[in-house]
Amino acid sequence: MPASTAAIQKSTFDFLKKLAANNDRDWFNAHRAQYEQAKENTESFMDALIAKMNTHDQIETPSGKKALYRIYNDVRFSKDKAPYNPRFAGGLRRSKPLLRGGYYFWIKPGASRIGCGFGNPNADDLKRIREDISLNYADWKKLLKSKGIVTTFGQMEGNQVKTTPRGFSPDDPAIDLLRFKQYWFERSFTDAEVLAPTFLQQVNQTYKSIRPFFDHVSEVLTTDANGEPLF
C-alpha cells in the first residue's frame, strides 16, 4: 500500500470492538478471516510508516509484520485471563548501537496511543543518563520544555524511584529528573483521528518531534566523557 494512501480501516476497528465483546477462542476461530484482514491492514499501515520514517531516521525493524506484537494475551502473570488482547500493538527499533530510543503504538478503539522514549534502560545506560542530567541539568530542562515536546506530548512520563538514586545527592538541583528510571512520552488519538487519512502523517510527525531528545540521549550513550565515540 503506498504511503500516501495507507490508513487504518474502519473494519479493523470493528473487528477489535467485536473481539472485546466476544473474547473467547470459539468466537475468534470462527472469525479468523476478519482477524487476518485486520492484521494485514495494520501491517500495511506500519509498512508505510516505516518507509516514511526512514526518510528522516534509521529504522531497524524491517516490516510491519515484524513490528506487531501477538494478539494473544499472556495470562501467566495477569489477573485478566481473557485469551486475547483486543488491540494491535507493536514497536519500531532504531538502528543500534548509535541510534537509541524506540517507537511504540497501540491501535485500540477508544484507547489508541503512540509512545516513544526509553522504557527500560539497562543499569549502565541509566547511570550514564543520570550523570548527564546532573552535569547538564539546564540543557535537559531546555530540551524538555522545547515547543516540539510540550505541544506534542505535554511532559515526560515514566516510573521514578521514591528516594534518591544511588550515587547522587538528595540536594542535587536536578533531583526531580534524577529520580526518573524511564524516559517516556505518549500521545493519545481519538477513534476519528486514527481512521482519518491524515493519521499516518500525524504519527510520523509525532515521532519526528522526539528526535532532538533521542539525538541528545544517543550522544550521551555512545560517547565517553571527552565526547569520543564508543562505537
pLDDT value of residue 76? 81
Distance set, CA 59 to CA 17, 47, 69, 101, 214 (Å): 31, 11, 17, 11, 13
Q: Please report whether residue 125 resides in a domain.
A: yes
pLDDT value of residue 4? 46
Q: Which residues are CB-contacts of 142 (< 8 A; sequence separation ≥ 6)? A: none
Q: Please report whether residue 45 resides in a domain.
A: yes
Q: Which of 171, 157, 148 is nearest to 116 (CA)?
A: 157
Q: Which three cell numbers stand for residue 113?
A: 496511543
pLDDT value of residue 93? 96
Contact (CB, 8 A) for 189 and 113: yes
Q: Please report whether residue 174 resides in a domain.
A: yes
Q: Please report whether residue 2 resides in a domain.
A: no
Q: Which three cell numbers stand for residue 178?
A: 534524577
Mean pLDDT calculated for residue range 200-216: 97
pLDDT value of residue 5? 55
Question: How many distinct structural domains can be found in the chain?
Answer: 1
Residue 19: pLDDT band by 50, 70, 90 thresholds? very high
Contact (CB, 8 A) for 210 and 185: yes
Q: Please report whether residue 231 resides in a domain.
A: no
Q: Which of 78, 105, 183 is nearest to 140 (CA)?
A: 183
Whether the predicted pLDDT of 127 surpasses 80: yes
pTM of the entire predicted model: 0.92
Mean pLDDT calculated for residue range 123-151: 97
Name the phi and psi angles at 105, rounded to 5: -150, 150
Q: Please report whether residue 229 resides in a domain.
A: no
Mean pLDDT calculated for residue range 212-221: 96
Q: What angle do CA 97, 209, 174 make, to 5 degrees?
A: 75
pLDDT value of residue 75? 78
Say what percent of the chain tops pLDDT 70: 98
Q: Please report whether residue 113 resides in a domain.
A: yes
Q: Please report whether residue 1 resides in a domain.
A: no
**Domain of 165?**
10-222
